[in-house]
């Protein structure tokens, strides 16, 4: 190739890299990198503490005291450890100098290869993120309905469908916010609300006092029932610790230099977030179960009933929280959709593309939520397949593949223990979820 040819090739390469940079500066995950450590804290709280916290006393009633406390504490420790691994692997100057793994699937591709990494990570990540968004559509609608019914018990009954549509309409607007940093105010409000309604749940339970007839025996009619309920409760706990699916994307918003890598502020935020998670989860699960025993409902706010104004407020807090959580889980999905449209299908990036793509996604999750308002029951089944791997053991497999710790050393052993426990969770929780779907299928009502 002559000098002119080399010049033309260099110019084309420079133009291509400029074009790629301008696309990266437009995509939601990589467009803004000026987040502070506390952004990481409240984004992680919003992602982690779902309305699933309100079902933890119910999960405890199927697990019993010993296994229940063990599963809760072990899940907290294991998921904190796997989250630490992901934060560490976001940048690995010794392995991939100058490279940031801004998305879960990019880390998967580095660990398992370009194609295999995509196939391993993307379906599971999408199942979690889209599934959670659909559940939050239903949860937001149900909480709005409860709020309305509590404040106006004599009003005409309004179908859940309309409340889901009211909740969904908020997201048609919020979905247009371009990136993670632009939704930080929504996320902060959501994090504060999650702490508020969790506190209401356990303080109001404690204030009610323990009735004399409370029992802690397992409620299944047979040993088989108890075993399947136990499996389903494991799925509920796995669902409660699902924040790993957005952690690399959150870290991508933090600035990073060789002297000040992003993992330091990110980890600081994660520690604060996990302390808040413990303050939300453990008192709700243990106080709720201690007070109500095996009579607790699958949502502790239903069991409480009174005082009306407090329970109505808690339901409104849940609505605000799931608005923020929906956006946190939707942002990586928006990023995938927009990357596909712009990089693969060569659509020009811009407001119109973003408006159509995001509006279509919100409409899809809303329609599925309206059609299947019992989707939460299905999630115990799907959750085991996707929540357990992406949270409990996929980070460990990536760590072993990339870092290659010494065989039978402490890091190697800890990772294998997490992998074995995660695989057991992945196998057992869908069994319980499937059975609960079959048993309650007769009560399912489409478009209720």
pLDDT digits (tens, 9 = 90+) for 341-396: 988 888 888 889 999 999 999 999 999 988 877 666 666 666 667 778 888 889 99
Q: Which residues of 247-281 are buried (b: 16+ CB within 10 A; e: fewer)?
A: bbbbbbbbebeeeebbbebbbebbbbbbebbeebb
The predicted-structure confidence for 141-165, as pLDDT tens digits, reads as follows: 988 998 898 888 888 888 889 999 9
Distance CA 357, CA 69 (A): 43
Q: What would you report as the CA-atom Rg of the chain, rounded to the nearest whole angstrom?
A: 23
Q: Residue 100 pairs with which residues in a beta bridge?
A: 91
Give the pLDDT confidence score for residue 348 in this predicted structure.
87
pLDDT at 447 over 70: no
pTM equals 0.86
CATH code 3.20.20.140 for 36-443:
no
The confidence band for 445, taking pLDDT boundaries of 50, 70 and 90, is low
The predicted-structure confidence for 35-58, as pLDDT tens digits, reads as follows: 888 888 988 888 888 767 888 888
Distances in Å between the alpha carbon of 340 and those of 27, 105, 184, 224?
Answer: 11, 14, 25, 46
The confidence band for 15, taking pLDDT boundaries of 50, 70 and 90, is very low
Give the pLDDT confidence score for residue 14 in this predicted structure.
44
**Would you mind telling me the total number of residues written for the chain in this entry?**
448
């Amino acid at each position: 190739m002559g000098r002119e040819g080399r010049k033309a090739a260099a110019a084309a390469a420079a133009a291509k890299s400029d074009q790629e940079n301008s696309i990266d500066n437009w995509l939601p995950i990589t467009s803004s990198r000026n987040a502070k450590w506390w952004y990481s804290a409240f984004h992680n709280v919003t992602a982690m503490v779902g309305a699933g916290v309100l079902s933890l006393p119910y999960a405890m009633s199927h697990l019993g005291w010993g296994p229940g406390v063990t599963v809760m504490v072990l899940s907290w420790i294991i998921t904190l450890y796997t989250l630490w691994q992901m934060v560490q692997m976001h940048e690995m100057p010794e392995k991939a100098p100058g490279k940031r793994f801004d998305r879960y699937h990019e880390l998967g591709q580095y660990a398992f290869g370009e194609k295999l990494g995509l196939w391993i990570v993307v379906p599971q990540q999408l199942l979690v993120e889209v599934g959670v968004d659909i559940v939050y559509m239903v949860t937001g609608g149900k909480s709005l309905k409860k709020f309305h019914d509590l404040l106006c018990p004599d009003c005409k009954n309004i179908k859940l469908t309309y409340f889901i549509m009211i909740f969904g309409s908020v997201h048609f607007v919020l979905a247009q916010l371009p990136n993670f940093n632009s939704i930080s105010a929504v996320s902060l409000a959501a994090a504060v609300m999650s702490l508020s309604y969790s506190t209401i749940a356990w303080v109001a339970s404690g204030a009610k006092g323990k009735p004399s007839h409370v029992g802690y025996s397992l409620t299944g009619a047979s040993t088989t029932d108890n075993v399947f309920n136990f499996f389903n409760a494991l799925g509920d706990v796995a669902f409660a610790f699902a924040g790993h699916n957005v952690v690399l994307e959150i870290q991508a918003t933090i600035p990073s230099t060789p002297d000040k890598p992003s993992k330091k502020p990110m980890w600081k935020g994660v520690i604060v977030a996990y302390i808040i998670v413990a303050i939300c989860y453990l008192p709700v699960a243990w106080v709720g179960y201690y007070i109500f025993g095996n009579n607790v409902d699958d949502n502790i706010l239903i069991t409480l009933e009174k005082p009306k104004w407090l329970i109505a407020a808690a339901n409104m807090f849940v609505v605000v929280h799931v608005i923020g959580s929906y956006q946190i889980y939707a942002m990586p999905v928006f990023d995938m959709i927009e990357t596909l449209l712009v990089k693969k299908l060569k659509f020009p990036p811009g407001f119109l593309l973003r408006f159509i793509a995001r509006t279509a996604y919100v409409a899809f999750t809303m329609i599925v939520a309206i059609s299947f308002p019992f989707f939460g029951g299905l999630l115990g089944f799907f959750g085991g397949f996707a929540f357990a791997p992406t949270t409990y053991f996929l980070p460990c497999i990536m760590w072993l593949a990339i870092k290659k710790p010494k065989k039978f050393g402490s890091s190697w052993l800890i990772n294998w223990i997490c992998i074995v426990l995660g695989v057991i969770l992945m196998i057992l929780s869908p069994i319980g979820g499937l059975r609960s779907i079959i048993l309650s299928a007769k009560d399912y009502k489409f478009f209720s």
